[in-house]
């Protein structure tokens, strides 16, 4: 007990010693091109650049933290970080527990990836990541769901025959299909799930959310957000952008 | 790290392998082994201490103390440690922050509001503006405390059983020689208890080593985290794309743990030999016959 | 459409093995739903624990004897087996087993019979195999240690009575080994039941959302964003399970120790002097 108190005291003193107010951005780090950890060990991807830009515009000092998908919302509420920026779709279910900013990626399609283009989705299990809207969709639509903790494992399941297909965000699966040398193909069927991607905040953090909302708005208004989305290393020129709809009320 | 690694797409073969294995993420991976060793170095003595306290309390003749010891041994034995870790760490964190809020916060509002846990910013441990290092260190400390409590209960159980296994003849002889209860405990029970405790304690040390992957479930970036992260197939978005190499990374972890436990086994065998000298057990006999 | 608690139990009571309502609850979570689903998940934990322990007991006895054998051809493989399964984390064993089983060709012909192997990667088979091998290794080590700790006086008394070889083993050594090993073996049994919660966290996925107690607890914690209800519920079930295991093992312990005097201070015991 004594050791615990001393450790806490030390940590508090050390904490007080650092001067600036830091906003901590939490991401998953396993979902290229949205967010991933590059080989240098740093968070990279569209959301890295986007998040840094938002912080600059909002005048905040930001730090990046990674967290597993499963505990990303509970850890937001515990205060491990202040913002969730992890390709998280805006859904009513999530709205009940956290607040979302304005969307920064328009609702995009979810696709199926399989070993052949005429795979019957009822012929075997369909893979998805635990706790995603795709997983809920599969369960609700009569297909047999098999869940994995990380997105990469869901694709590996298709490769080694554990699942007949995987349902995930199209932007995540396209590079997988392209780089598989024909082994993996996207099915024609697509699903439209979720209300776009937004930042997650604690319910009590309205002030912080408004700062980020303003920064997102400014990026939509001057077109930098659309330009960032369509970069080839992120979502490419064919990706859905905000266009004129994003410029309303600028 | 090396100059030849500046453009990973231009190299191949052994150079690629060398550059790949020394990339920033891999260095983090190697450093995470130290995290695991540090956890063990702190937790093992802490758990032993807690176990000893628990066993002594359980054997006490004062009813409430004995009850407390027995409940401690029993409660933690009853719940799978993974649940304890998942749940207890959050709870401990919140209790610490609540205690701090009573000291530093202007208002003493009840922190548990609906689904959220809210305390004034000064009561957050570590403070929100502390660097990532302190957050990681704090998470690590919570893990250590949880490990010590969980394994302390198991150690207490083993030591409790070992204390009961020392032949009563030994204790009675000591009493016949006029030793007080404390002297019997210190001079006869404790030294002789170890040989009976050793198989159980040795087992628990191994189990503690094997429990270190739970750090990964607590969000600490340990070796399992990095093995999964590095092993998964990587697309061209990464500097070093590759296929699914998880099998190899986990084999490497397997080798690490096997090496570690092998060294531990040798150590435990040495201690067992030392404690078996002169004991009227089959093990002591074997030593005598071998001339040890 | 709100169900009474009894209807919930009927709908979800066996959900973990695929019987009952197909869709898991997605909103308006009730305490009854959590208790029922997590309770149904316990079927998996009990299945894994009981089968692995029972089968593992026999293998453990064999390995414990093999470890004490003088012939290195028997002793060395036993030592290596125990070393590998005791020396590495269960999490990694699960994962490696899963990856290795996944690499098996989907079907192959053995003696003209087509053998399908895709079932081996399912949790009920692959994870059970890992748990069985794992607990057998730990138990073998405990039994082996107990064999070495048998008081010399007991062995000499046995020989004085004219019991040798197999008779001595089955009437004196083995029961004494079991008696000495029992507390540590109880610990091992409890650890094994607890370890069954790792199955769906490591490598083996849950098909059709059929999983164990912790899997469902995790599901509720994720969906309600509140871990303070489902995890204590799992803990509650496991305390009940541990009580049952401890009770059962305690009865066996009493049976094994029935010939010994109790440890209470007031009793006078008649006991042959231990020879130093």
Name the minimum distance, in Å, from the CA of B265 to any CA of chain A: 31
Beta bridge partners of A25: A64, A83
Indicate which of A11, A80, A175, A208 best probes the interface with B, i.e. most B CBs within 10 Å of its own CB. A11
Cis geometry, peptide bond prior to residue B151 (ω within 30 degrees of 0)? no
Nearest to A47 by CA among A171, A194, A202, A150: A171
What average pLDDT does range A186-200 have in this prediction? 89
Q: What does the alpha-carbon distance between residue C238 and residue B270 come to, in Å, rounded to a whole number?
A: 37
Nearest by Cα to A199 from A50, A29, A20: A50
Return the CATH superfamily for domain A124-192. Periplasmic binding protein-like II (3.40.190.10)
User: Which residue on chain B is closest to A205 by alpha carbon?
Assistant: B118
Q: Please give the ipTM for the structure prediction.
A: 0.75
Residue B262: partners with Cβ closer than 8 Å, 6 or more residues away: C83, C87
Q: Please tell me the distance in Å from A245's CA to the nearest CA on chain B.
A: 30
Of A93, A125, A131, the CB nearest to C207: A125
Interface of A with C (CB under 8 A): 70, 73-74, 77, 93, 97, 125, 127, 130-131, 136, 139-140, 142, 144-148, 157, 160-162
Same fold, A20-106+195-247 and A124-192: yes
pLDDT at A18 over 50: no
Q: What is the pLDDT of residue C58?
A: 96
Please tell me if residue B131 touches chain A, with a CB cutoff of 8 Å.
yes
Of A97, A142, A160, the CB nearest to C102: A160
- Whether B237 sits inside 8 A of A39 (CB atoms) is no
Q: Sort out which chain B residues have CB atoms less than 8 A from C225's CB and list them.
A: 115
Q: For residues A206-241, b (16+ Cβ closer than 10 Å) or e, as one string?
A: eebbebbbebbbbbbeeeebbebbeeeebbeeebbb
Span C31-59, pLDDT tens digits: 888 999 999 999 999 999 999 999 999 99
Give me the residue from C91, C142, C274 closest to B199, CB to CB. Answer: C142
User: Is the CB of B169 inside 8 Å of chain C's CB atoms?
Assistant: yes
| Percent of chain A whose pLDDT exceeds 90 | 32
Nearest CA among C143, C154, C150, C134 for reference residue C93: C134
| Cβ contact C141–B203 (<8 Å) | yes
C228 touches chain A (CB under 8 A): no
Rounded CA-CA distance A107/A111 in Å is 13
pLDDT tens for each residue of A114-139: 998 888 888 889 999 988 899 889 98
A204 to chain B, any CB pair closer than 8 A? The answer is: yes
Binned at pLDDT 50, 70 and 90, residue C276 comes out as: very low
Interface of A with B in 35-94 (CB under 8 A): 36-42, 45, 63, 65, 67-68, 71, 74-75, 77-80, 82
Q: Which of A20, A29, A175 is facing B235, going by the closest CB pair?
A: A175
* Partner C contacted by B266 (CB < 8 A): no
How many CA within 13 A on the CB side of residue B99? Answer: 10
Residue to test with chain A: of B129, B220, B234, most A Cβ within 10 A? B129
Confidence (pLDDT) at B115? 57
**If you measure CA to CA, which chain A residue comes closest to C27?**
A93
State the Cα–Cα distance between residues B137 and C200, nearest whole angstrom. Answer: 29
Give yes or no for residue A206 having a pLDDT over 80.
Answer: yes
User: Which residues in B lie closer than 8 A to residue C152 (C-beta atoms)?
Assistant: 280-282, 284-285
Q: Which of C209, C221, C225 sits opposite A139 (nearest CB)?
A: C209
B239–A39 CB contact, under 8 Å: yes
Report the percent of chain C where pLDDT is more than 90: 30
- Res. A239 pLDDT band, cuts 50 70 90: confident
pLDDT for position C202? 82
Domain ranges of chain A: 20-106+195-247, 124-192
Residues in chain A: 250
pLDDT per position as a tens digit, A146-166: 988 889 889 988 888 888 999
Chain pair A-C, CB pairs under 8 angstroms: 45
- Residues B94, A233: C-beta atoms closer than 8 Å: no
* pLDDT tens column, C181-197: 888 888 788 889 988 99
- Rounded to 5°, the CA angle C225-B76-B228 comes to 55
End-to-end CA distance of chain B: 52
When pLDDT is cut at 50, 70 and 90, the band that residue A194 belongs to is confident
Is the pLDDT reported for residue C60 higher than 90? yes
pLDDT value of position C128: 95
Q: What's the burial of B63, exposed, middle or buried (CB within 10 Å: 0-12/13-18/19+)? A: exposed
HEC string for chain C:
CCCCHHHHHHHHCCHHHCCCCCCCCCCCCCHHHHHHHHHHHHHHHHHHHHHHHHHHHHHHHHHHHHHCCCCHHHHHHHHHHHHHHHHCCHHHHHHHHHHHHHHCCCEEEECCEEEECHHHHCHHHHHHHHHHHHHHHHHHHHHHHHHHCCEHHHHHHHHHCCCCHHHHHHHHHHHHHHHHHHHHHHHHHHHHHHHHHHHHHCCCCEECCCCCHHHHHHHHHHHHCCCCCHHHHHHHHHHHHHHHHHHHHHHHHHHHCCCCCCCCCCCCCCCCCCCC
Question: What's the CATH number of domain B3-290, 1.10.510.10, 1.10.3720.10, 3.30.450.40, 1.20.1050.140?
Answer: 1.10.3720.10
Q: Which domains does chain C have, with CATH numbers?
A: 44-107+114-225 (1.10.3720.10)
User: How far away is chain C from the Cα of B189, in angstroms, using its nearest Cα?
Assistant: 14
Round to whole Å and give the CA distance between A194 and A243.
Answer: 20
Contact C205 A147 (CB under 8 A): yes
What average pLDDT does chain C have?
Answer: 84
Nearest to A78 among B25, B117, B241 (CB): B117
- Mean local confidence (pLDDT), A26-50: 90
For domain A20-106+195-247, give the CATH number.
3.40.190.10
What pLDDT digit, counting tens, does each position of C127-147 carry?
999 999 999 998 998 999 899
Which residues of B are less than 8 Å from A67 in CB distance? 219
What sign has the CA pseudo-torsion B241, B243, B244, B246? negative
Residue A139 is nearest to which of C24, C121, C222, comparing CB atoms? C24
Query: Considering only CB atoms, which chain C residues are within 8 Å of B262?
Result: 83, 87
Q: Give the per-residue pLDDT at C76.
A: 95
Whole-number Å distance between alpha carbons of A155 and A145: 14
- Given a contact cutoff of 8 angstroms between Cβ atoms, the answer to whether B267 and C140 are in contact is no
Residues of C within 8 A of B164 (CB-CB) are: 263
Residues 214-253 of B with CB under 8 A from C: 217, 224, 246-247, 250-251, 253
pLDDT value for A147: 87
The answer to whether the Cβ–Cβ distance between C223 and A160 falls below 8 Å is no
Q: Cβ distance A173 to A111 under 8 Å?
A: yes
Question: Does B153 reach chain C within 8 Å, measured CB to CB?
Answer: no
Q: Which chain A residues have a beta carbon less than 8 Å from that of B240?
A: 39
CB pairs under 8 A between A and B: 115
Nearest chain A residue to C203 by CA: give it: A148
Q: Indicate if the pLDDT at residue A94 is higher than 50.
A: yes
C205–A146 CB contact, under 8 Å: yes
Res B70: pLDDT = 87
**By C-alpha distance, which of B192, B155, B172 is closest to B281?**
B192
Local confidence band at C220 (pLDDT 50, 70, 90 cut-offs)? confident
- For chains B and C, what is the number of CB pairs under 8 angstroms? 159
Encoded tokens for C105: 């060709």
C-chain CB neighbours of B158 within 8 Å are 183-184, 187
Q: Between residues 178 and 207 of chain C, which touch chain A (CB distance below 8 Å)?
A: 205-207
Contact between B124 and A79 using a beta-carbon 8 Å cutoff: yes
Length of chain B: 292
CB atoms within 10 A of CB A245: 9
DSSP secondary structure string, B160-204? HHHHHHS-HHHHHHHHHTT--HHHIIIIIIHHHHHHHHHHHHHHH
* Contact status of B122 with chain A (Cβ, < 8 Å): no
Coil, helix or strand at residue A234? coil
Q: Which of A84, A115, A155, A160 best tests the C interface by mutation, with the highest count of C CBs <10 A?
A: A160
B238 touches chain A (CB under 8 A): yes
pLDDT at residue number B128? 61
> What are C222-256's pLDDT values in tens digits?
777 677 888 889 999 998 998 899 889 888 888 88
- Provide the residue-wise pLDDT of chain B in tens; the chain has 292 residues: 567 777 777 788 888 888 888 888 899 899 989 888 888 889 989 998 988 889 889 888 889 999 998 888 877 667 787 887 777 777 787 788 888 888 888 777 777 766 566 777 677 777 666 666 777 788 888 888 888 888 888 888 888 888 888 888 888 999 899 988 888 888 888 888 887 888 778 877 877 888 888 887 777 788 888 888 888 888 888 888 888 888 889 899 999 999 998 898 889 888 888 877 766 666 777 777 777 5
Bridge partners (DSSP) listed for residue A83: A25
Percent of chain A with pLDDT over 70: 92
Chains in touch with B (3+ beta-carbon pairs under 8 Å) read A, C
Answer for the pair C231, B86: CB distance below 8 angstroms, yes or no: yes
């Amino acid at each position: 007990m004594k050791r615990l108190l001393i450790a806490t005291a030390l940590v508090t003193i050390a904490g007080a010693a650092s001067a600036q107010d830091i906003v901590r951005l939490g991401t998953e780090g396993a979902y290229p091109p949205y967010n991933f950890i590059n080989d240098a060990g740093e968070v990279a991807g569209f959301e890295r650049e986007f998040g840094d830009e938002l912080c600059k515009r909002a005048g905040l000092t930001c730090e990046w933290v990674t967290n597993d998908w499963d505990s990303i919302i509970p850890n937001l509420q515990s205060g491990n970080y202040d913002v969730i920026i992890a390709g998280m779709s805006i859904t009513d279910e999530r709205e009940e527990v956290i607040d979302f900013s304005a969307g920064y990626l328009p609702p995009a399609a979810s696709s199926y990836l399989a070993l052949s283009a005429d795979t019957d989705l009822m012929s075997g299990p369909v893979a998805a990541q635990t706790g995603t809207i795709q997983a809920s969709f599969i369960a609700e639509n009569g297909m047999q769901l098999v869940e994995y903790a990380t997105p990469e494992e869901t694709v590996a399941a298709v490769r080694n025959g554990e699942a007949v297909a995987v349902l995930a965000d199209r932007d995540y699966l396209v590079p997988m299909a392209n780089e598989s040398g024909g082994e993996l193909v996207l099915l024609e069927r697509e699903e439209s799930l979720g209300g776009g991607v937004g930042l997650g905040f604690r319910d009590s953090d309205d002030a912080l959310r408004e700062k980020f909302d303003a920064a997102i708005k400014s990026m939509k208004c001057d077109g930098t957000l659309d330009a960032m989305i369509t970069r080839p290393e992120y979502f490419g020129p064919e990706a859905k952008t905000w266009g004129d709809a994003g410029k309303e009320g600028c | 790290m090396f100059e030849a690694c500046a453009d990973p797409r231009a190299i191949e073969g052994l150079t690629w392998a060398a550059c790949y294995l020394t990339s920033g993420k891999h260095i983090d991976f190697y450093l995470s082994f130290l995290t695991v060793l540090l956890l063990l170095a702190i937790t093992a003595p802490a758990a032993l201490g807690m176990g000893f306290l628990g066993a002594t309390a359980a054997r006490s003749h004062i009813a409430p103390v004995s009850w407390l010891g027995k409940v401690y041994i029993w409660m933690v034995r009853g719940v799978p440690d993974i649940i304890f870790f998942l749940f207890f760490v959050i709870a401990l964190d919140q209790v610490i922050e609540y205690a701090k809020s009573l000291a530093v916060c202007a208002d003493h509002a009840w922190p548990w509001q609906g689904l959220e846990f809210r305390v004034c910013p000064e009561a957050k441990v570590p403070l929100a503006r502390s660097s990532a290092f302190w957050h990681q260190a704090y998470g690590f400390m919570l893990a250590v405390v949880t490990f010590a409590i969980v394994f302390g209960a198991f150690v207490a159980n083993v030591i409790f059983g070992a204390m009961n296994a020392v032949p009563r003849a030994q204790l009675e002889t000591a009493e016949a020689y006029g030793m007080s209860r404390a002297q019997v405990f210190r001079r006869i029970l404790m030294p002789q208890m170890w040989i009976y405790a050793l198989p159980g304690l040795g087992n628990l040390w191994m189990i503690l080593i094997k429990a270190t992957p739970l750090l990964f479930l607590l969000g600490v970036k340990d070796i399992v985290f990095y093995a999964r992260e590095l092993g998964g197939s990587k697309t061209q978005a990464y500097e070093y794309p590759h296929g699914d190499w998880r099998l190899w990374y986990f084999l490497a972890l397997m080798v690490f743990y096997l090496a570690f436990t092998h060294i531990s086994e040798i150590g435990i065998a040495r201690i067992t030999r030392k404690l078996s000298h002169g004991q009227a057990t089959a093990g002591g006999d074997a030593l005598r016959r071998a001339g040890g | 459409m709100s169900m009474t608690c009894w209807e919930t139990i009927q709908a979800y009571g066996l959900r973990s093995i695929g019987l009952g309502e197909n869709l898991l609850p997605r909103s308006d979570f009730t305490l009854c739903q959590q208790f029922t689903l997590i309770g149904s998940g316990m079927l998996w934990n009990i299945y894994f624990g009981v089968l692995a322990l029972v089968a593992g007991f026999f293998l453990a006895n064999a390995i414990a004897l093999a470890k004490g054998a003088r012939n290195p051809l028997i002793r060395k493989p036993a030592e290596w087996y125990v070393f590998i399964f005791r020396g590495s984390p269960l999490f990694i064993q699960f994962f490696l087993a899963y990856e290795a089983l996944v690499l098996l060709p989907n079907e192959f012909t053995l003696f003209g019979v087509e053998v399908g192997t895709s079932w081996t990667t399912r949790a009920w088979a692959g994870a059970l195999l890992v748990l069985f091998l794992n607990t057998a290794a730990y138990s073998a080590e405990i039994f082996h240690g107990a064999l070495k700790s048998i008081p010399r006086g007991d062995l000499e008394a046995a020989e004085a009575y004219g019991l040798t070889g197999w008779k001595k083993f089955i009437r004196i050594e083995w029961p004494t080994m079991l008696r000495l090993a029992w507390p540590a073996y109880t610990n091992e049994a409890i650890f094994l039941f607890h370890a069954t919660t790792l199955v769906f966290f490591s490598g083996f996925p849950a098909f059709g959302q059929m999983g164990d107690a912790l899997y469902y607890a995790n599901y509720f914690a994720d969906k309600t964003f509140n871990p303070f209800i489902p995890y204590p519920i799992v803990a509650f079930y496991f305390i009940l399970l541990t009580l049952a295991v401890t009770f059962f093992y305690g009865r066996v312990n009493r049976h094994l120790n029935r010939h010994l005097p109790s440890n209470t201070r007031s009793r006078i015991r008649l006991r042959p002097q231990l020879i130093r």
